A and B are shown apart, each in its own frame.
Chain A
Amino acid sequence: MSGPSTFVPKSAIGRWFESRLPIMGLVHSSFIAFPVPRNLNYMWTFGAILAFMLIAQIITGVVLAMHYVPSATTAFQSISHIMRDVNYGWLMRYMHTNGASLFFLACYIHIFRGLYYGSFKPPRELLWIIGVIIYFLMAATAFLGYVLPWGAMSFAGATVITNLVTAIPFVGTGIAHWLWGGFAVGGPTVNRFFSLHYLLPFIIAAFVGLHVWALHVTGQNNPDGVEVQNVDRDTVPFTPYATMKDIFAVSVWLILYAWLIFFIPNYLLDADNYNIANPLVTPAHVVPEWYLLPFYAILRAIPNKLMGVVALFASIAILAFVPWLDRNPVKSAKYRPAFRFFFWVFVVICVLLGWIGSQEPGDAMTLVARILTVGYFGFFLVIMPILSFAEKTRPIPASIADAVLAKKPVPAE
């Protein structure tokens, strides 16, 4: 699939350039000639959608940073200034805040797709782990960004999350003071969070580069989970096939994005964040943004603070071990009826954990949250290992071409 490019530029200047820096050959082999399994469904367009969202977030973020002033006394007013006085500032800000939500939505679809079709299995373990790192960096970036408007919920969120480190024995409080740049969340905190919020997206971009690189070495997985055997029969070239499909999918995604930006821009935002941060007034109900709610529910489900923090991080870290937890040689859930059932149970568990994360904690809620937390980890630590060996899988097609042909209706005589 990879190896030295066979690309030969048509022009003399192109050949001169290519023999010194083969960047056009890289583009050609990665985005034009790259063989794409011909049975990919629309779930495989989310890579392109995510790349688009990352670029959109960086561009809108760079523009917002030109007008944002990070300090405890100016941050909130500078957002108001962006919304009221900066030309199309409201558009940039609504694109950025709602863009974060759509970035996560696309990312979750992408991750669940990987789980469903076994995209983490050999030879794509590293590709998957790089993806988990990207997701973790995204969560960190989103958290840092959420603090910047310096609203009441920004302050509460920053306080809750940075206080997690105080659970570390002996050195926790010292680390918290070091993170805050003081004895509580305050002006120095918002300033350094801004610095890090600007830095991390570029680190994400670097990991995305590795992600794409690793993908282009192993090639894409596909809905049938059988590897490419014959490039001519099983694949189509990236351009125009995947390019056109990806561009179309991005345009549909843009409709959803535009709906959020222009018609319901405050639907996903917390109203409490339109009140300025006040250390003396904590919002009645502290909740993170929707995309972090399941993890918040897991954190609150554990009675011990340190163990809660451990569970919170374990719930993300466990994804990195999936290639070794699920060792069933059949990749796609299409041919794994039991795994498919438990996969959907897992999806429901994640959604319900998210709902519980948004609710006031109570005895009944905590009990349900604990059961669901056990279910969340049980999927990885119990179901996956057991189904690695105990599942009766359906026969997989001999090749991608066979799978495509099997689906094709026989033309009527």
Chain B
Amino acid sequence: MTLRIQVQQQDFSVASEYELLRQEARCGAVVTFSGLVRELTETQLLRMTLEHYPGMTEQALIQIATEAQQRWQLGTVTIIHRVGTLLPNEQIVFVGVASAHRAAGFAAAEFIMDYLKNRAPFWKKEHTSNGEYWVAAKVSDHVALQRWE
């Protein structure tokens, strides 16, 4: 059971992360998720800035990954989240889960993203052609947690 948690400004390579996740022979499945900066429909997104709470962020991600490892039989769990300035289509977040069989991997990756969206102290600000706006939290993200309770 290995945890790989990183909060960083620099980009990450899904290929390199996947190679790290597929090293365990007892794991027959690797599930990965990447979240990207999406362009806006009504205005032009110039860039996004991601603020976080240094120290708490890392602890929150470790807690979420550890809880996933307690719920499902998992191998390595990787969570990488970028902070700072990001341009449209850049990578924001990576979640990778190695597991013996696919069901645990799919479930754990969704669980981690649902909790990350609600509990990890990150805040997005969109810089658009019409001005700067803090992204509002979505009710749907909050509702998504209920299925794990």
- Report if A and B associate in a common complex: no
